[in-house]
Amino acid sequence: MSVLVFIESAEGEIKKSSLEAVSYGAAVAANEGTSATAIAFGSIDEAKLKEVGKAGATKVLHVNDDRLDKGVIQAYANALTQAVEKEGAKVLVLAKSSLGDPVAARVAVKTNAALASNVAELPDTSSGFKVKRSIYTGKAFAMVELKADVKIIAIKKNAVEVKEDGGDATVETFSPELSDADFGVQITGEERQTGEILLPEADLVVSGGRGLKGPENWGMIEDLARALGAATGCSKPVSDMDWRPHHEHVGQTGVKVSPTLYVAVGISGAIQHLAGVNSSKYIVVINKDPEAPFFKAADYGIVGDAFEVVPKLTEAIKARK
């Protein structure tokens, strides 16, 4: 019996959310008196795979097949299922993501597993195997018992801290049997934000709303984000008006974030926006309307004109870092 952790990477870099999954898997394994094995797909340097050991895995299976540089869901699910069987894994851990969700769902069916997604804490194994899931878009939790032999846990981003005290992992090549049918879906291209902090993975986020008055004023948001080391986001009206790309839209129907700090500038705080940010540890709201509903959800608030407050705040942060 072991704990298996599915690792996602982009352009050869392992995602932070996957390292969170490794640390979660290592904690589950320690509790069960076993070890955590990670599995990674596509072209990744061996040195990077060894480093996964720092987060808590003792072994990494590497499916070194460049057809898997892109996240072909069926191929990943088939390979992962074979790895679960090979390792005799009773627990599979992964990060909830646009790839993790559909892959986990297929693996759950293939392995007759019980799957819990959006998991916020380590399992309670005192009687049965129970996990706490975030539901109602962060407005509540559900305790769920997983009743099958194989348990699959998709963890919510930023729910777990990445451990950094482990040693190097051993790396083994794993060659699952994949057929042409697994690659029936053709990924013909992608557009990816590069060189900046990815919003769904970010620990700090600065978002702007309609109060910014136009896309030409976004430099101010970017300056504050840069000073903090934060990702940038926006409200739905802003992405609807094409001031910012859709992948920056934070909210109920956009990206749901759970950073340690969320700074909202010129966003009134419609309930649909709050639904995307209510898992944030700290919320700062800057708005010139003292009645903006967002202040009720905030930890710190400033009533003031964003065009005056934000540059001053940026300078103050730069001076103190």
Return the residues of window 30-69 that contact another protein according to CB under 8 A. Answer: none
Burial label for 290, CB within 10 Å (0-12, 13-18, 19+), is: exposed
Amino acid at site 232: T
Residue 298 sits in the site that holds another protein (CB under 8 A): yes
What's the closest the beta carbon of residue 298 comes to another protein, in angstroms?
5
Part in contact with another protein (CB under 8 A); list of ranges 41-49, 54-62, 85-93, 138-146: 138-146
Q: What residues from 83 to 112 belong to the interface with another protein (CB under 8 A)?
A: 96-99, 101-106, 108-110, 112
Instruction: Scan for tokens 């640390």, then name that residue.
Output: 23
Q: Tokens standing for 72?
A: 């072909």
Q: Which listed residue (63, 79, 159, 302) binds another protein by CB under 8 A?
A: 302
Q: Which residue pairs, CB below 8 angstroms and at least 24 apart, start in 47-50?
A: 48/12, 48/13, 48/14, 49/169, 49/171, 50/168, 50/169, 50/170, 50/171
Nearer of residues 28 and 169 to another protein, judged by Cβ:
28
What's the closest the beta carbon of residue 117 comes to another protein, in angstroms?
5
d(CA 5, CA 28): 11
* Cβ proximity of 134 and 141 under 8 Å: yes
Residue 221 sits in the site that holds another protein (CB under 8 A): no
What's the closest the beta carbon of residue 151 comes to another protein, in angstroms?
9
What's the closest the beta carbon of residue 272 comes to another protein, in angstroms?
6
Residue 246 sits in the site that holds another protein (CB under 8 A): yes
Q: Count residues contacting another protein (CB under 8 A)?
A: 94
Nearer of residues 171 and 275 to another protein, judged by Cβ:
275
Residue 313 sits in the site that holds another protein (CB under 8 A): yes
Cα separations (Å) of 9 from 48, 60, 69, 185, 233?
11, 14, 8, 19, 22
Residue 320 sits in the site that holds another protein (CB under 8 A): yes
DSSP class of 299: S
Cα separations (Å) of 224 from 144, 243, 297?
40, 18, 21
Q: Which listed residue (126, 165, 177, 188) binds another protein by CB under 8 A?
A: 188
Q: What residues from 258 to 287 belong to the interface with another protein (CB under 8 A)?
A: 260-261, 271-272, 275, 281-282, 284-285
